[in-house]
């Protein structure tokens, strides 16, 4: 076998690093268990005392949940991997084409390519300045703050700048609104428009997490861009885990109530997700769609995430080059 030639290209002085949540390497119980173990070990995600949480996680939750979650991933798995991995890599390539002179990479907070490893690679290549953009439009201590933790541990020797959120960026808002309009032009407009965001425990918001307020600000901005009154766009939260109260109203409960009230068609988008993933393709477009129909609805019409669309790549490239918003 011929040995690949070494990469002799001169490194860029500036890099953009897109960071997403992560994904299992395969739709198998073993791979899912490895991924969930890393994800759920993060104190930012589960803030329970370790002596209590770790035995519960390893001897109860992982053995029970891993096969079930693996089955869900298998239902949406793509030829190149999980949708989140495929779309994130494609988005990085599309952004790179818009940023000549920059090195554009992507990394995952959990799973591969690991954020710490990508930072080490950039440092070894002689990259000097790295702008880190977590692909979470809305800031939360459960997501963006966890990326900050890794940067603090693994970012030595790099000049790092972080974009904490872009929940009201005009370009991003316009891209979301345009995707909804395109859906309406192709399929007609449903009786309701619902925007579903990933939930977090209400306790965290009570402690000062700005996530809920930023989801509301995003929803208001998208409604305005669509020319709709704010009260014509429903804001809900999905993906609840555990027994404590999370942000409400819950997406599935809202959809079931709409169906029982006589609403037959609902258009739903997930602006908190940069690219499609398990939570959008399986939870919303499959699981919640089935629950809506079971409650008497006719069609829950899912509007895809921006993914690697030209509009999304334009937005990310513009954010990368902006002088403000980095810290």
- Determine whether 73 is exposed, middle or buried from the number of CB atoms within 10 Å of its CB (0-12, 13-18, 19+): buried
Please list, in sequence order, all residues whose beta carbon lies within 8 angstroms of the beta carbon of residue 192, skipping any fewer than 6 positions away: 234, 258, 263, 265, 266, 267
Cα angle, residue 116 at apex, residues 49 and 41 outer, rounded to 5°: 20
Distance CA 210, CA 212 (A): 6
The answer to whether the beta carbons of residues 130 and 15 sit under 8 Å apart is: yes
Among 119, 87, 116, residue whose Cα is nearest residue 23: 87
Strand, helix or coil for residue 112: coil
Number of neighbours of residue 156 by Cβ within 10 angstroms: 11
Place of tokens 């119980």: 29
**Is residue 112 part of an annotated ligand binding site?**
no
Separation of CA 28 from chain center: 22
Distance CA 32, CA 26 (A): 7
**Is residue 198 part of an annotated ligand binding site?**
yes
Annotated binding-site ranges: 198, 279
Annotated binding-site ranges for Fe(2+): 198, 279
């Amino acid at each position: 076998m011929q040995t690949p030639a070494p990469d002799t290209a001169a490194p860029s002085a500036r890099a953009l690093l897109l960071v997403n949540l992560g994904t299992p390497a395969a739709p198998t119980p073993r791979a899912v268990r490895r991924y969930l173990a890393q994800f759920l070990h993060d104190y930012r995600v589960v803030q329970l005392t370790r002596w209590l949480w770790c035995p519960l996680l390893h001897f109860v939750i992982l053995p029970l949940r891993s096969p079930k979650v693996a089955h869900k991933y298998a239902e949406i798995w793509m030829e190149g991997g999980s949708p989140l991995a495929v779309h994130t890599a494609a988005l990085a390539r599309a952004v790179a084409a818009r940023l000549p002179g920059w090195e554009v990479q992507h990394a995952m907070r959990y799973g591969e390519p690991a954020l710490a490893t990508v930072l080490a690679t950039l440092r070894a290549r002689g990259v000097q300045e790295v702008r880190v953009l977590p692909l979470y439009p809305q800031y939360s201590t459960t997501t963006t703050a966890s990326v900050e933790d890794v940067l603090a541990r693994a970012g030595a020797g790099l000049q790092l700048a972080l974009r904490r959120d872009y929940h009201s960026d005009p370009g991003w808002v316009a891209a979301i609104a345009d995707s909804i309009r395109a859906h309406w032009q192709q399929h007609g407009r449903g009786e309701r428009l619902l925007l579903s965001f990933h939930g977090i425990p209400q306790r965290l918001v009570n402690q000062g997490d700005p996530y809920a307020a930023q989801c509301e600000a995003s929803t208001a901005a998208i409604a305005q861009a669509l020319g709709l009154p704010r009260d014509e766009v429903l804001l809900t939260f999905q993906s609840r885990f555990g027994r404590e109260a999370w942000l409400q109203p819950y997406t599935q409960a809202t959809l079931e109530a709409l169906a029982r009230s006589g609403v037959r068609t609902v258009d739903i988008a997930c602006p908190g997700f940069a690219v499609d993933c398990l939570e959008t393709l399986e939870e919303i477009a499959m699981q919640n769609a089935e629950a809506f129909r079971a409650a008497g609805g006719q069609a829950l019409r899912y509007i895809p995430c921006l993914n690697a669309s030209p509009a999304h790549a334009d937005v990310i490239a513009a954010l990368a080059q902006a002088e403000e918003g980095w810290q």
